[in-house]
């Protein structure tokens, strides 16, 4: 199985801060990496696919990068509505695995 490890597990940042979440795969997954946002009590939403492609309607302050085993989700300027948990997910070879999630809060 491919394991996905996110860090940190939680973070607290100020409005306007640049926030970075990392995701590491236990083996190479090329660019088959998606990021989801789940706000408290809500359904997950797709933010980024293919490691760096922004899903339709997602604000441009979100960006993704990486390939192989190391990936990053960046929020360029944290907004109050970004309070949520963020999950990476590999979808390589028709199988999916989520990371354990990163909870983002406002300081």
Partner 1 sequence: EVQLVQSGAVVKKPGESLKISCKGSGYSFPDYWIGWVRQMPGKGLEWMGIIYPSDADTTYSPSFQGQVTISADKSINVTYLQWSSLKASDTAMYYCARQYCHGANCNPAMFEYWGPGTQITVSS
Q: Which residues contact 76 (CB under 8 A, 6 or more apart)?
A: 18, 61, 62, 63
- Per CB under 8 A, does 100 bind partner 1? yes
- Per CB under 8 A, does 52 bind partner 1? no
- Per CB under 8 A, does 57 bind partner 1? no
What DSSP designation does 52 have? T
- Per CB under 8 A, does 7 bind partner 1? no
Sign of the C-alpha dihedral, residues 47, 52, 55, 58? positive
Q: Which residues bind partner 1 (CB under 8 A)?
A: 1, 32, 34, 36, 38, 43-46, 49-50, 55, 85, 87, 89, 91-92, 94-101
């Amino acid at each position: 199985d491919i394991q996905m490890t996110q860090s940190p597990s939680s973070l607290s940042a100020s409005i306007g801060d640049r926030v970075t979440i990392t995701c590491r795969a236990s083996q190479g997954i090329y660019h088959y990496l998606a990021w989801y946002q789940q706000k408290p009590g809500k359904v997950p939403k797709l933010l980024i696919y293919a490691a760096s492609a922004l899903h339709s309607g997602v604000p441009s302050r979100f960006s993704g990068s990486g390939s192989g085993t190391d990936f990053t989700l960046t929020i360029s300027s944290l907004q109050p509505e970004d309070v949520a948990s963020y999950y990476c997910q590999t979808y390589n070879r028709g199988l999916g695995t989520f990371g354990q999630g990163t909870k983002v809060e406002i300081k």
